[in-house]
Structure 1
Amino acid sequence: MKQNKYDDAVFFSEYKKMPRSVKGLKGAGEWPVLKALLPEFKNKSVLDLGCGFGWHCRYAREQHASSVIGVDISEKMLQKAHEMTSDPSISYINMPIEDINFPDSQFDVIFSSLAFHYIKSFDTICKKVFDCLKPGGLFVFSVEHPIFTSRNEQDWYYDEKGKRLHWPVDNYQTEGLRETTFLTENVIKYHRTVSTYINDLIHAGFKINAVKESMATEEMVKNDPGMKDENRRPMFLIISVEKQ
């Protein structure tokens, strides 16, 4: 069964308070790295998997994409996306990412932000994305870094005074379900190694264009000194691939 934590009232209430929910792309720490990997959108058909509030959908249209489809499992997320969108060239579909079934070669660009670590089978998604992407099309996505997802706790190791000593990594090679705490308890994520992400893409037929591990910029650290710790370990893995 696919977990839909974003439709949980308590979880959604907390998520709405996050900087990325309030400020949009400017509040997303990985956005500068992700943005640099995105292609020119002009006259392109775009699919956003796990679109949330639709920030990336609207960005693609601002960059003159011809059409954008956003897919998300959460009714609450899409309700907010509809409220924030007044563009007939953007459409939203309420369904799990795993259930997409678009025609072959429909999209020029397929994008996803921080969604695939909630998906049990990444290789299945890779094959579906490959099929509905046009030849020469790009697939760009971000996920929580496997160094971050390896443990159920997904937190720092602290001393007796609460000082962050280091970020522990354990059971890295043991892939699969992690039950963790993110905004609320009992959040299901799926851990997989960096090599699994890359090899699943290669086996689906993609050419790897770039692999990035985002860091907090100097500006982010200046505005929020707490962001300095984000550079002590990678938080996000960002990959760009091409359908040859």
Structure 2
Amino acid sequence: MKQNKYDDPNFFAAYEQMPRSVKGLEGAGEWHIVKELIGDLKDRNVLDLGCGFGWHCRYARAQQARSVTGVDISKKMIERAREMTNDPAISYIRVSIEDIDFSNNQFDIVFSSLAFHYIQSFQTICEKVYECLVPGGSFVFSVEHPIFTSRNEQDWYYDDQGNRMHWPVDHYQSEGVRETNFLNESVTKYHRTISTYMNDLISSGFLIKAVKESVPADDMLEDPEMKDETRRPMFLMIAAEKT
């Protein structure tokens, strides 16, 4: 089932108040790692799956990408991205990631930020991305880390005084649906192991180039809200290449 929580007015209102929504890429704790994985974008044709407000699309053009296509299922997201963009080389398409249908060898790089854990079949996405990439093209994405998605609760274990004791991991090998809470709303996510992410890429023909686990940049660690983000990785990031 394709999920579109972002067109819910209450959910969208909460989302647009998040630091990464207000500050853009500099408000994303993993951006300093993702940026290195993306690499050189000059003269590249770029596809962004789950583009949201279009921050990564505009970054790609600032890095002299030839063309950028942003895809998102949410009408509100696409509208906001268009409002924030004044560049004819960037186009936004409202379609679910599961339903993308681009030409073979159309893009030099396909990117996605924190979208695939909302999609039931990662294998299907890998196959579609492989087809629309040029030979030697790059596939770079981030997802919520499997130790984060393993439990429905997706929260710390607290002591009687409300202090964070540890991050619990359970049912890690049991892949599938997780009904969890995000921005005070019920959200469906799909848990899969690190090995499944990697093996789905390999079986689709990709060569894995790098695997990273998030840690905030040094300057972000000065924020008290980020002080526990070194205790467990919240995001997993992978760069792969079409062989």
TM-score normalised by structure 2 residue count: 0.99
**Is 1:236–2:229 an aligned residue pair?**
no
Q: Which residue identity is paired with 1:40?
A: D
Deviation per residue, 1:112-134 (Å, 9 max, x gap): 00000000000000000000000
Q: CA deviation at 1:2?
A: 1.0
**Is 1:17–2:17 an aligned residue pair?**
yes
Q: Which residue of 1 aligns with 2:225?
A: 226
Q: Which residue of 1 aligns with 2:30?
A: 30
Q: Which residue of 2 aligns with 1:69?
A: 69
Deviation per residue, 1:84-136 (Å, 9 max, x gap): 00000000000100000101000000000000000000000000000000001
Cα RMSD between the aligned structures? Answer: 0.6
State whether residues 11 and 185 of structure 2, in contact with CA within 8 Å, keep that contact through their aligned partners in structure 1: no
State whether residues 45 and 68 of structure 1, in contact with CA within 8 Å, keep that contact through their aligned partners in structure 2: yes
TM-score normalised by structure 1 residue count: 0.99
Q: Which residue of 2 aligns with 1:149?
A: 149
Q: CA deviation at 1:185?
A: 2.4
SS in 2 for 1:42: coil
Q: Which residue identity is paired with 2:228?
A: D
Q: In structure 1, what is the Cα distance between the partners aligned to 2:218 and 2:94?
A: 37
Q: CA deviation at 1:214?
A: 1.1
Which stretch shifts more, 138-147 or 35-44?
35-44
SS in 1 for 2:136: strand
State whether residues 10 and 184 of structure 1, in contact with CA within 8 Å, keep that contact through their aligned partners in structure 2: no
Q: CA deviation at 1:218?
A: 1.9
Q: In structure 1, what is the Cα distance between the partners aligned to 2:225 and 2:47?
A: 34
Q: Which residue identity is paired with 1:230?
A: E
5+ long unaligned stretches in structure 1: none
Q: Which residue identity is paired with 1:235?
A: M
Q: In structure 2, what is the Cα distance between the partners aligned to 1:56 and 1:192?
A: 25
**Percent of pairs with identical residues:** 69
State whether residues 48 and 71 of structure 2, in contact with CA within 8 Å, keep that contact through their aligned partners in structure 1: yes
Moved over 4 A (4+): none
State whether residues 117 and 143 of structure 1, in contact with CA within 8 Å, keep that contact through their aligned partners in structure 2: yes
Q: Which residue identity is paired with 1:52?
A: G
Q: Which residue identity is paired with 2:145?
A: H
5+ long unaligned stretches in structure 2: none
SS in 1 for 2:101: coil
Count of residue pairs brought into register by the alignment: 243
SS in 2 for 1:71: strand
Q: In structure 1, what is the Cα distance between the partners aligned to 2:238 and 2:189?
A: 19
